[in-house]
């Protein structure tokens, strides 16, 4: 099973919005609403910021939002802040009852 496809890096200025894409197939992202997004700061464990495509865990800022169209899911961060600089990973449940990740996207806040 191949990994999901994410851009290696994105950047934006404070206050701007950015979107990170996550492309899968009709065996994972395309057929399940079980896409998650994780934020990982250097030296730290991943932190769940979006689950089930669009839902936010308690305590996660509403500046983070998720969506999906066909085989591609997206994470949008609005009102960029310096603290948002981190690596972001998407994941999806698959037809084989397993979990796959994207390669990760490094977000730089300029």
Partner 1 sequence: QVQLQESGPGLVKPAETLSLTCTVSGESSTDYYYNWFRQPPGRGLEWIGYIFYSGSTNYNPSLKSRVSISRETSKWQFSLKVTSVTAADTAMYYCARGSIAAGGVQPWGQGTLVTVSS
The binding site for partner 1 (CB under 8 A) comprises 1, 3, 32, 34, 36, 38, 44-48, 50-52, 57, 89, 91, 93, 96-104
Q: Shortest Cβ distance from residue 58 to partner 1 (Å)?
A: 10
Q: Shortest Cβ distance from residue 16 to partner 1 (Å)?
A: 26
For the chain, how many helices (H) and strands (E)? 0, 9
Cα-Cα-Cα-Cα dihedral sign, residues 61, 86, 67, 100: negative
* CA atoms of 36 and 59, how far apart (whole Å): 16
In terms of CB distance, is 13 or 42 closer to partner 1? 42
Task: Report whether 7 contacts 22 (CB < 8 A).
Answer: no
Q: Shortest Cβ distance from residue 72 to partner 1 (Å)?
A: 18
In terms of CB distance, is 13 or 59 closer to partner 1? 59
Task: Report whether 42 contacts 93 (CB < 8 A).
Answer: no
Q: Shortest Cβ distance from residue 30 to partner 1 (Å)?
A: 15
């Amino acid at each position: 099973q191949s990994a999901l496809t994410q851009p290696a890096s994105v950047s934006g200025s404070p206050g701007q919005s950015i979107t990170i894409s996550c492309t899968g197939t009709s065996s994972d992202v395309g057929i399940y609403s079980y896409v998650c997004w994780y934020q990982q700061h250097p030296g730290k464990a991943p932190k769940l910021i979006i689950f089930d495509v669009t839902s936010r865990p308690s305590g996660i800022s509403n500046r983070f939002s998720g969506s999906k169209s066909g085989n591609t899911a997206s994470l949008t961060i609005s009102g960029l802040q310096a603290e948002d600089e981190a690596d972001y990973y998407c994941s999806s449940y698959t037809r084989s009852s397993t979990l796959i990740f994207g390669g990760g996207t490094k977000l730089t806040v300029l």
